[in-house]
Amino acid sequence: MTSTAAVAPAKMPRRPRRVGPALRYLAALVIVAVTVVPLLFVILGGFRTTAQINQSPAALPEPWVLSNYATILTSADFWRFLTNSVIIAVVATVVAVAFGSMAGFALSHYRFAGREALYTLFTVGLLFPLGVATLPLYLLLRQIGLLENLMGVAIPQAAFSLPVTIVILRPFMTAIPGELADAAAIDGAGRLTYFWRILLPLSRPALVTVSVLAFVTSWNSYLLPLLVFNDQSHFTLPLGVATFQSQYSQDTARILAFTALSMVPALAFFSFAERRIVGGLTGSVKG
Amino acid sequence: MAEPVTADPDTGGVTAEPTPPPGRPSVRPGRRRPPVRRALELSLLLAPALLLFAVFVLLPIALAVYYSLYRWNGFGPLSDFVGVENYRRALADPVFDRAIWHNVLIAVLSLLIQLPLSIGLALLLNGRIRGRAALRLIVFTPYVLSEAVTAVVWLSILQPNGVFDQFLTAVGLRGSIHEWLADGDIVLYTLFGVITWKYIGFGIILMLAGLQGIPSELREAAALDASSWQSTRYVTLPLLGPTIRIWIFLSIIGALQLFDLIWIMTLGGPAGASTTMATYLIDHGFRRYQFGYGSAVAVLLFTVCFLFALAYQRFALRRDTAGAVDRAMR
């Protein structure tokens, strides 16, 4: 490739397009196929019977069977898992963002001894994986009676989302010009009024990003619900999917339908908040 | 990470204090207010986050260190103090050594395979291409799915004589069919493949974001008197450096903490062939009620991650992190 470039006549338009659109489209096609085909297999598999799948795993539904999806959508389990996931994710997000933005405000708009140390402490928290803390966390939750309780997952989840929330919010809040606070003070607004009426609305983009991050983290988490819940009625969607898989391991079609349905909320949320998720993840990780 | 703090009037910076013009009251909030009220505000704002963080993050980690010094099944009093015996036992256990090795292997494979793949695909997708927005959306989709869902999806696909095996047969690779998850020599590579499927989109999006940060003038100027390979190698890649270093960091930390996917797909088996530090920890701590021993493993896992992060921060990331978060939010 290098040599063809070197001998290219000087008059040729020098745009670096030698890779060629063909190769580019081929690569794109391969990526799309590798990404989409497994998902399609799951979704379409849900429209077949297990017998059909066993006979010929790769075929299209013939005829289309709706009963798998219908059974799951009319069963209480799926909806209960979904509701539990929603409750936990919402509580975890609200708590993390509320507490995180208050702390972010204090860490950005007040000066006090130990401020940087405190900020560093939260930053180091980014490195604590939930996995490391699970055994003692489990014992702690048992002691305070939060096992088999949705809050037993939501609250620790919020705590583990605090570091990233604060690490994103504080610089954002620091960047908001101090003149605004001055102006608010002239108008007689207290510090907390300023926080509530001016700073928070101005921080909206960052608040959306941290909310999305906290929500997705909680939504996808598996380990903590696995330890805290024994009773199926408390299961979240990830836990439910994994359990369903092992319970009905003979009934492939039902597993596929269940899995497909459990992808729907995440995919819907993603297409709705795509820019925020991508921006948040690629942005936040640079901390 | 620590940003430079501008002149700090409240902490005794007497000289830094600009005298306000006479007659104009200082309205900078944070001053002139009763210190009691200020302290009250501060504690009101900080207490919830601090309490939450201390109770559910710091305390459990401190407790893990404490429990790790005992032999304990999680019930009854902590009485059987064994000192560092749990640590010695873990480090001497060949299964744990293998677990560490598996984590390292996944990390190395990621660097060797996922990194070039992410960069290459990002470079390709960064060019002019129809439907680029849709393409990005699709590429990123697996990353949004939970590891649990991903695991179940691939469990179905990789079933013996399942759709993947049929596909191989159809393209004439019947001979390469294995028991993807039951063969101890293969299972880790299978899992790595699934991990790559799930996380490659994140790498590509990250690299694309990094490429977007490179001024197009630079790339165009380079394109004027260099081949596309040269301009990529000597202009684009070095400028992509910070992004690549962040990716490496995240990838290695992720590889060290791998759990959900493996637990659901293989439980660390067969016969420990896909155990990681985290699955070993949960296996011993929860399934065998060895809370003291499990805690010791947790502390080891944390120490490994922490030392790696510290070293990486010091040697590779230092020049990138200053102000990185602010930049990212713009």
Q: How far apart are CA B217 and CA A103, in angstroms?
A: 41
> What chain B residue is nearest to A26 in terms of C-alpha separation?
B124
Is residue B317, in this structure, part of any structural domain at all?
A: yes
> What chain A residue is nearest to B245 in terms of C-alpha separation?
A286
Instruction: Grade residue A277 by pLDDT with cuts at 50, 70 and 90.
Output: low
Instruction: Grade residue B96 by pLDDT with cuts at 50, 70 and 90.
Output: very high
φ, ψ (nearest 5 deg) of residue A183: -60, -40
Question: Does residue A32 share a domain with residue A103?
Answer: no
Taking 90 as the threshold, does the pLDDT of residue B123 lie above it?
no
pLDDT number for residue A47: 95
Is residue B58, in this structure, part of any structural domain at all?
A: no
Chain B, 198-257: which have a CB under 8 Å from a chain A CB? Answer: 201-202, 205-206, 209, 219, 223-224, 226-231, 242, 246, 250, 253, 257
Q: How far apart are CA A242 and CA B277, in angstroms?
A: 21
Higher pLDDT, A176 or A278: A176
Taking 50 as the threshold, does the pLDDT of residue A210 lie above it?
yes
pLDDT number for residue A93: 96
Q: How far apart are CA A60 and CA A42, in angstroms?
A: 11
Which tens digits make up the pLDDT trace of A69-119? 999 999 899 999 999 999 999 999 999 999 999 999 999 999 899 999 999
Higher pLDDT, B321 or A272: A272
Question: Does residue A40 share a domain with residue A146?
Answer: no
Q: How far apart are CA A129 and CA B276, in angstroms?
A: 15
Nearest to A194 by CA among A167, A176, A172, A171: A176
The CATH number of the domain holding residue B101 is 1.10.3720.10
Is residue A8, in this structure, part of any structural domain at all?
A: no
Is residue A70, in this structure, part of any structural domain at all?
A: no
Is any Cβ of chain A less than 8 angstroms from the Cβ of B283?
no
The CA-atom distances, in angstroms, between A38 and each of A45, A200, A260 are: 10, 42, 11
Upstream peptide bond of A63 is cis (omega within 30 degrees of 0): yes
B13, with CB counted inside 10 A (0-12, 13-18, 19+), is exposed
Query: Angle formed by the axes of helices B59-67 and A130-143, to 10°?
Result: 90
Task: Write down the residue that tokens 């940003």 correspond to.
Answer: B3
φ, ψ (nearest 5 deg) of residue A189: -80, 135
Is residue A259, in this structure, part of any structural domain at all?
A: yes
Q: How far apart are CA B298 and CA B295, in angstroms?
A: 5
Which tens digits make up the pLDDT trace of A86-98? 999 999 999 999 9
Q: What rounded mean pLDDT belongs to chain B? A: 83
Last residue in a domain, options A38, A65, A92: A65
Higher pLDDT, A172 or A287: A172
Whether the CB-CB separation of B120 and B229 falls below 8 Å is answered with no
Structure tokens at A118: 């405190």
pLDDT number for residue B33: 65
Instruction: Grade residue B32 by pLDDT with cuts at 50, 70 and 90.
Output: low
Strand partners, B176: none
pLDDT number for residue A84: 97
Q: How far apart are CA A130 and CA A162, in angstroms?
A: 12
Which tens digits make up the pLDDT trace of B306-329? 888 888 878 876 665 544 444 444
Whether the CB-CB separation of A265 and A82 falls below 8 Å is answered with yes
Strand partners, B71: B80
pLDDT number for residue A10: 44
Upstream peptide bond of B270 is cis (omega within 30 degrees of 0): yes
pLDDT number for residue A281: 59
- Pairing label, strands B80-81, B70-71: antiparallel
Asked if the Cβ–Cβ distance from B156 to A25 is below 8 Å, we say no
In chain A, the number of structural domains is 2
Is residue A184, in this structure, part of any structural domain at all?
A: yes
Higher pLDDT, B322 or B156: B156
Q: How far apart are CA B325 and CA A42, in angstroms?
A: 38
Mean pLDDT of B153-178: 89
Residues of B in contact with A162 (CB under 8 A): 49, 52-53, 57
Domain, as residue range, for A81: 75-284
B325, with CB counted inside 10 A (0-12, 13-18, 19+), is buried
B330, with CB counted inside 10 A (0-12, 13-18, 19+), is exposed
Q: How far apart are CA A54 and CA B167, in angstroms?
A: 14
Question: Does residue A80 share a domain with residue A103?
Answer: yes
Taking 90 as the threshold, does the pLDDT of residue A278 lie above it?
no
Asked if the Cβ–Cβ distance from B324 to A287 is below 8 Å, we say yes
Range with the lowest mean pLDDT among A79-93, B80-94, B170-184? B170-184
Question: Does residue A158 share a domain with residue A55?
Answer: no
Mean pLDDT of B278-295: 92
Highest mean pLDDT, choosing among A7-11, A87-91, B30-34, B135-139: A87-91
Helix, strand, coil share of chain A (percent; to 5): 75, 0, 25
Mean pLDDT of A9-35: 70
Asked if the Cβ–Cβ distance from A162 to B57 is below 8 Å, we say yes
Residue A66 CB neighbour total at 10 angstroms: 13
Instruction: Grade residue A18 by pLDDT with cuts at 50, 70 and 90.
Output: low
Is residue B185, in this structure, part of any structural domain at all?
A: yes
Is residue A5, in this structure, part of any structural domain at all?
A: no
Asked if the Cβ–Cβ distance from A281 to B205 is below 8 Å, we say yes
Taking 90 as the threshold, does the pLDDT of residue B266 lie above it?
yes
Question: Does residue A53 share a domain with residue A172?
Answer: no
Is residue B112, in this structure, part of any structural domain at all?
A: yes
In chain B, the number of structural domains is 1
Is any Cβ of chain A less than 8 angstroms from the Cβ of B28?
yes
φ, ψ (nearest 5 deg) of residue A39: -70, -40
Strand partners, B81: B70
Is residue B22, in this structure, part of any structural domain at all?
A: no
Number of H helices, E strands in chain B: 18, 2
Instruction: Grade residue A180 by pLDDT with cuts at 50, 70 and 90.
Output: confident
Q: How far apart are CA B264 and CA A230, in angstroms?
A: 16
Q: How far apart are CA B300 and CA B313, in angstroms?
A: 20
Taking 80 as the threshold, does the pLDDT of residue B9 lie above it?
no
Taking 80 as the threshold, does the pLDDT of residue B12 lie above it?
no
Find all residues with CB under 8 Å of A11, minimum gap 6, and list them.
none
Q: How far apart are CA B10 and CA A112, in angstroms?
A: 7
Asked if the Cβ–Cβ distance from A102 to B46 is below 8 Å, we say yes
Residues of B in contact with A39 (CB under 8 A): 141, 153
Question: Does residue A194 share a domain with residue A134?
Answer: yes
Higher pLDDT, B122 or A278: B122
Cα dihedral sign, A275-B196-A159-A239: positive
Question: Does residue A146 share a domain with residue A27?
Answer: no
pLDDT number for residue A287: 33
Question: Does residue A132 share a domain with residue A43?
Answer: no
Structure tokens at B55: 């109770």
Start-to-end C-alpha separation, chain A: 38
Asked if the Cβ–Cβ distance from B224 to A24 is below 8 Å, we say no
Taking 70 as the threshold, does the pLDDT of residue B256 lie above it?
yes
Taking 80 as the threshold, does the pLDDT of residue A13 lie above it?
no
CA dihedral A122→A172→A159→B63, nearest 10 degrees, is: 0
Which tens digits make up the pLDDT trace of A192-207? 889 998 899 999 888 9
Question: Does residue A151 share a domain with residue A48?
Answer: no
Range with the lowest mean pLDDT among A145-159, B110-124, B126-140, B162-176? B126-140
Is residue B146, in this structure, part of any structural domain at all?
A: yes
Start-to-end C-alpha separation, chain B: 17
Taking 60 as the threshold, does the pLDDT of residue B218 lie above it?
yes
b/e sequence A160-190, b meaning 16+ C-beta within 10 Å:
bbbbbbbbbbbbbbbebeeeebeebbeeebe
pLDDT number for residue A8: 42
Q: How far apart are CA A58 and CA B64, in angstroms?
A: 48
The CATH number of the domain holding residue A171 is 1.10.3720.10
Is residue B2, in this structure, part of any structural domain at all?
A: no
Taking 80 as the threshold, does the pLDDT of residue B6 lie above it?
no
* Beta-carbon pairs below 8 A across chains A and B: 343
Higher pLDDT, A5 or B112: B112
Taking 50 as the threshold, does the pLDDT of residue A65 lie above it?
yes
Question: Does residue A59 share a domain with residue A79?
Answer: no
Mean pLDDT of A29-39: 92
Nearest to B265 by CA among B273, B255, B253, B257: B273
pLDDT number for residue A134: 86
pLDDT number for residue B34: 75
Whether the CB-CB separation of B279 and B267 falls below 8 Å is answered with yes
Which tens digits make up the pLDDT trace of A116-131? 999 988 888 887 777 7
Is residue A6, in this structure, part of any structural domain at all?
A: no
Q: How far apart are CA A167 and CA A181, in angstroms?
A: 22
The nearest CA of chain B is from the CA of A261 a distance in Å of 10
Amino acid at B87: Y
Asked if the Cβ–Cβ distance from A139 to B27 is below 8 Å, we say no
Last residue in a domain, options A30, A45, A65: A65
Residues of B in contact with A263 (CB under 8 A): 145, 149
pLDDT number for residue A102: 96
Is residue B76, in this structure, part of any structural domain at all?
A: no
Whether the CB-CB separation of B186 and B178 falls below 8 Å is answered with yes
Residue A208 CB neighbour total at 10 angstroms: 16
Q: How far apart are CA B228 and CA A16, in angstroms?
A: 5
The nearest CA of chain A is from the CA of B185 a distance in Å of 24
Taking 90 as the threshold, does the pLDDT of residue A240 lie above it?
yes
Question: Does residue A193 share a domain with residue A59?
Answer: no
Asked if the Cβ–Cβ distance from B41 to A222 is below 8 Å, we say no
- E runs forming strands in A121-238: none
Residue B220 CB neighbour total at 10 angstroms: 13
Taking 50 as the threshold, does the pLDDT of residue B23 lie above it?
no
DSSP assignment of A112-150: -TTHHHHHHHHHHGGG--HHHHHHHHHHHHHHTT-TT-H
Taking 80 as the threshold, does the pLDDT of residue B36 lie above it?
yes
Higher pLDDT, A3 or A244: A244
Is residue A174, in this structure, part of any structural domain at all?
A: yes
The nearest CA of chain B is from the CA of A265 a distance in Å of 10
Which tens digits make up the pLDDT trace of B137-150? 888 889 889 999 99
Asked if the Cβ–Cβ distance from B142 to A35 is below 8 Å, we say yes
Asked if the Cβ–Cβ distance from B121 to A271 is below 8 Å, we say no
Mean pLDDT of A228-238: 94
